[in-house]
Amino acid sequence: MNARAPEHAAYLAGILPFKTLTPDTLTAVARGVEELRYERDQVLFSEGDVSDAVYVARSGRVRLQHFRPDGSVRTVCMIGPGETFCCLPAMDAGTNPATAVAAEPSVVYRIPGGAYRELLETRPAFSREALRHFCGRLREAGCEGCSQAEDAGARLAGKILTMVDKFGDVVPLTRKELGELAGTTVETAIRITRDFEERGWLALGRGHLRVLDRAALQLRTLGPAAPTE
């Protein structure tokens, strides 16, 4: 018996797709939750590893990364509290598609893949919300190939807005992390975010930034010719 199951059930009840479940089903799921704690830069799992689990971030931040043959790192997603991640191996019995690294001290729930698959197969509302979340990730990844993707400023503006949806107007990311997310260098990320700050769109801080003008950033995602004030 998981002594912390009631606490885990209470947390899952407040986030999608788990909030669609009945209290009894949530309790059953929570009994199988393993709570894991990671320090900054600690690896949760590695790309290519065999896995049969789904993870939910309870606190902190987790980077999902690809390591290129030349040794450089591409951060493909930043996970915040309440987000489910690494669903794909539990759904297709494949390997982990990315490496997960704690961006700061983090608490993560590990849910057995079998329990997650059973929910997908037997709980329609859960399945709908889980697939909506998964499709959102695919849509975000697909935007990397759109026409404005060659414009680093547009990519950075888009990634900042995505992070606002996760974390609110104060985005707890460094310029290095933003650069990795947008597929550009840290020097470029610093230069462009300083430009955004000079325009009054952002306020930069140590290890974070505050969004002041979402509308201007949204226009900037359209390309450098977008009108600005």
* 3-state per-residue secondary structure call for 26-43: HHHHHHCCEEEEECCCCE
**pLDDT band at residue 76 under the 50/70/90 scheme:** confident
**Interatomic CA distance for residues 153 and 169, integer angstroms:** 19
Q: Which residues pair with 102 in a beta bridge?
A: 62
pLDDT at residue number 150: 63
Query: Mind listing the domains of the chain with CATH numbers?
Result: 5-143 (2.60.120.10), 146-220 (1.10.10.10)
**pLDDT band at residue 1 under the 50/70/90 scheme:** low
**Interatomic CA distance for residues 165 and 211, integer angstroms:** 11
Burial track 20-29 (b if 16+ CB lie within 10 A, e otherwise)? bbeeebbbbb
Return mean pLDDT, the chain.
Answer: 89
Tokens linked to 79: 């996970």
**Cβ atoms within 10 Å of 50's Cβ, excluding its own:** 10
Range 153-158 average pLDDT: 93
- What are the pLDDT digits (tens) for 14-33? 999 999 999 999 999 999 99
**Cβ atoms within 10 Å of 154's Cβ, excluding its own:** 23
Q: Which residue has the higher pLDDT, 137 or 227?
A: 137
DSSP designation for 148: G
53-59, strands of its sheet edge to edge: 34-38, 106-112, 53-59, 84-85
DSSP designation for 21: S
pTM of the model: 0.83
- What are the pLDDT digits (tens) for 78-133? 999 999 998 888 888 889 989 999 999 999 999 999 999 999 999 999 999 998 88
pLDDT at residue number 139: 67
Q: Is the pLDDT of residue 199 over 90?
A: yes
Q: Is the pLDDT of residue 208 over 50?
A: yes
Secondary structure of residue 211 in the 3-state scheme: strand
